[in-house]
Structure 1
């Protein structure tokens, strides 16, 4: 079993049981306790769990409002520039999908003067922002509101998404690597985003420099599924040069 798949399973077990013991999970996954402890260390560094004596637990929950607010403030200037740089990829009359990220929210704020757009989103804050423009038809994908988030996730919106064929999907991610592509820490949100990727003509990744070459748990878009990457001037140039077949836009 590859390490990303194993860590994905660890997070599935942890989300279901709220805690885990190294000795039990090492047997269940058929790996050594040393390997499992290393996995837990990496997952803790990514903020996905908290290690305890002999195991791990989920991070202490915070309120949805405070978490989304603090996330939106991280690299805020870069996110605003990335949102502005994404505008040329939006045309009147299109159907686009915006994920629930704080970067997509910055793009949503700039759509106030667009006409006859249909915007599909699983972001509550994004949907509320878009209602400021009466010429935008807003479709909210139903799902489960995850603690510590402003997004609706899960596959309750699968039927709706199967009927929508959008022009562009604008999405951020918890991490992006050349091996795993775009990935999120929430398995359930990643599954929803996979459906979005499969129902669009173009995927545009909105990633500030902190997301590049960063690991996460669940892949929702392979590198060859990404048409364009919009990032900021602090992005690692060597990493950008390693990407093949992707249009790179540096926001300024």
Structure 2
């Protein structure tokens, strides 16, 4: 089991049990306690859990830097710049999917003022609220579980609707992006939802600000081969540019 897979399992266990000891984890995963202590330390640095004597507890989302209210304040100007560029990729009568990210929320805020006929699917409660008063836009909220401190509906409850609707484009952000892992996130439930969404849409557009490039979260939901267009507000380095070209990913610089 790779480290990212193992940490994903640890997070799933914590989501269920809320606390766990290193000794119990070692028995369950058949991994050394030293390796697990290293895993837990790394996950604590990412804000996913809190280390305790002999184990770990799941962080309360309300106190976490990962809450929606905290995330939407971070790098907002970068997200607005990216959103303005992303909106240029939307055509009249498109059916688009916005994830529950704060960057996708900025796209919703722009679309709110546009006179464009669209169908918008989203698992983001805030994005749906922004768009609800625009009579030209049909908003479909994907159902799911609402976690404390989150504005995202998570899980696979809303996937059936995608069997009835053709989605042109998915706009998605992430907690991290690397060439090896692609787009990564820390919520097990959101990762599973996004994996399914990526498979069911025509085109995937990654909307990633500079702070997330080179960072890696708990689990991947889209590899480079799954991405069609990559939008960021900063130039990327030569190595990343080459990787994007090799995988036929179009890079768009938002400015």
- Tell me the TM-score range normalised by the shorter chain: over 0.9
1:251 aligns with 2:226: no
Specify the alignment match of 2:192 in structure 1: 191
Q: Which residue of 2 aligns with 1:175?
A: 176
Q: Deviations over 1:157-209 (max 9, x none)?
A: 12112222200000001111112211211111111112211121110001111
- CA displacement at 1:106 relative to structure 2: 0.5
Deviations 1:125-165 (A, max 9, x none): 00011113110000000111111110111111121122222
Kindly report which structure 2 residues correspond to 1:15-164, keeping only aligned pairs within 5 A, or say none.
15-62=15-62, 67-111=67-111, 112-164=113-165
Q: CA deviation at 1:2?
A: 1.1
Structure 2: unaligned runs, 5 residues or longer: none
Alignment TM-score, normalising by the size of structure 2: 0.93
Report the secondary structure of 2:162's partner residue. Answer: helix
CA contact (8 A) 1:161 1:195 kept: no
Q: Conserved in 2, the CA contact under 8 Å of 1:228 and 1:248?
A: yes
1:139 alignment partner, SS class = strand
Structure 1: distance between partners of 2:95 and 2:128: 14
Cα deviation for residue 234 of structure 1 reads 6.5
Corresponding position of 1:217: 218
Give every structure 1 segment of 4 or more consecutive aligned residues whose post-TM-superposition deviation is greater than 6 Å: none
Shift, 1:61, TM fit:
3.2
> What's the CA shift for 1:67?
2.9
Task: Decide whether the 8 Å contact of 2:235 with 2:253 is kept in 1.
Answer: no
Partner of 1:204: 205
Is contact 1:183-1:218 (8 Å) kept? yes
CA pair 200-114 structure 1, distance change in 2 beyond 3 A: farther
Deviation larger for 226-235 or 28-37:
226-235
* Distance in 2, Cα, partners of 1:212 & 1:199: 25
Q: State how far apart, in whole Å, the 2-side matches of 1:226 and 1:34 are.
A: 36
Paired residues, number: 251
